[in-house]
Chain A
Amino acid sequence: MKFPRTSGGFYAWLFQRLTGILLVILLLIHFAVTHNLPKGGTLTYAVVAPRLATATWKVFDLMFLVCALFHGLNGVWMVIQDYVHSETAQMWIYYGLCTLGLILLILGAITVIPFKA
């Protein structure tokens, strides 16, 4: 069974790099703000909740979610393409990864968007 891929790996390559750069920036902010590094400390509801309820952080976290999911699953897809050669197996894994990504995206979005402290 053939399944159509039109970009030939170009968009996978390009967006892996773009989301990669974005993730580095987002992560540095995440470590500094959420985890209060280099000082550190215990994370409780009282510490995190007020910040997560603001619109700015909702946008930040949604961007984080989308970039991380795309970058991670696209990375797995690249590794799969190296080692799995059957078109049928590739197709099932591809749709499997898409489904997993969608579930995690929804799970993340229903955590972030409606949140009130």
Chain B
Amino acid sequence: MAEYLFRIFRYDPEKDEGTKGRVQEYKVDVQEGWTLLDVLVHIKWFMDGTLTFRRACSHGICGSCGMTINGKNGLACETQIKDLGTQVITVEPLRGFRVIKDLVVDMEPFYDKLYAVKPYLITYTPPPSDRERLQSPEDRKLLDGKYECLLCGCCTSSCPTYWADKDFLGPCALLKAAKFSLDSRDEGWAERVNVIDDKHGIWRCHTIFNCVEACPKDLNPTKAIVELRRMALRGRL
């Protein structure tokens, strides 16, 4: 057991409307092996029931508990307190999105960008009548590092370009676009390229790499954007 100080961003739309929110401090005795999500749950259950945050699986697969931890985005449930290396831990909601309450942000604009890139398999040729569409192991391998995304929003929320230009599709949507565009079974490039080959699409990225640093699944959205640029370049020339 060790005592840590948690400085948590608080914003209650009923009380704090018109303010920039406030920081509330909690001293918590953290037990061996606790993640940040364990701490937040402990605060909510035993110290302050008004603290609001999103959570579901607590095992790094649902993507609900994305937040800014000590100035860097990540999943609360995958962040071991011990690994943070500081006695004072700052917890903020994901930036770039509007705060609904405390650590809960409005992800709607983020989902809108995702829907815009048509994140599903698009096909025109009918499937074989006796089985599903097959894919060779080599073609399947191309999707590694693309399909694991949880849609937690950590990457898009860490992107300085997205902070500046809210119409930018952002790293997450572009990673999804790459995932489907690189799929050997997909025939939707012509449709998808119309959306991503845009001043708010692949050309807006300034290769700052914040998304790569932030991704809790160690994916590489910048690589996806670069691959899409090469595909668009080949298509144009």
Contact = CB atoms under 8 A, between A and B. Distances in A.
Contacts of A5: 199
Interface of B: 161, 164-167, 197-199, 201, 203-204, 229, 232-233, 236
Contacts of B232: 10
A82 B160 CA distance: 10
Given A10-B197, A10-B233, 5 more contacts: A8-B199, A10-B236, A12-B203, A13-B203, A82-B164
Interface string A82-113: 11010000000000000000000000000000
A10 B201 CA distance: 10
B199 A85 contact: no
Contacts of A83: 164-165
A14 B197 CA distance: 13
A51 B161 CA distance: 45
A11 B181 CA distance: 22
Residue with the greatest number of chain B CB neighbours at <10 A, chosen from A14, A82, A83, A85: A82
B100 to A, nearest CB: 23
B31 to A, nearest CB: 45
A10 B203 contact: yes
A81 interface: yes
Contact of A82 (B165, B198, B201, B229): B165
Contacts of A14: 233
Contacts of A13: 203, 229
A88 to B, nearest CB: 16
A38 interface: no
A41 interface: no
Nearest to A13: B203
Given A81-B165, A82-B161, A9 B236 contact: no
Contacts of B161: 82
A9 B199 contact: yes
B210 to A, nearest CB: 14
B198 A9 contact: yes
A83 B199 CA distance: 13
A8 B197 contact: yes
Contact of A85 (B165, B204, B229): B165
A19 to B, nearest CB: 16
Nearest to B233: A14
B164 A8 contact: no
B237 to A, nearest CB: 9
A83 to B, nearest CB: 5
B198 to A, nearest CB: 5
A81 B164 CA distance: 9
Residue with the greatest number of chain B CB neighbours at <10 A, chosen from A8, A83, A85: A8
Residue with the greatest number of chain B CB neighbours at <10 A, chosen from A10, A12, A14, A81: A10
B236 to A, nearest CB: 6
Residue with the greatest number of chain A CB neighbours at <10 A, chosen from B166, B199, B232: B199
Contacts of A82: 161, 164-165, 204
12 contacts: A8-B197, A8-B201, A9-B199, A9-B201, A10-B203, A10-B233, A12-B203, A13-B203, A82-B164, A82-B165, A83-B165, A85-B165
B154 to A, nearest CB: 21
Contacts of A10: 197, 203, 232-233, 236
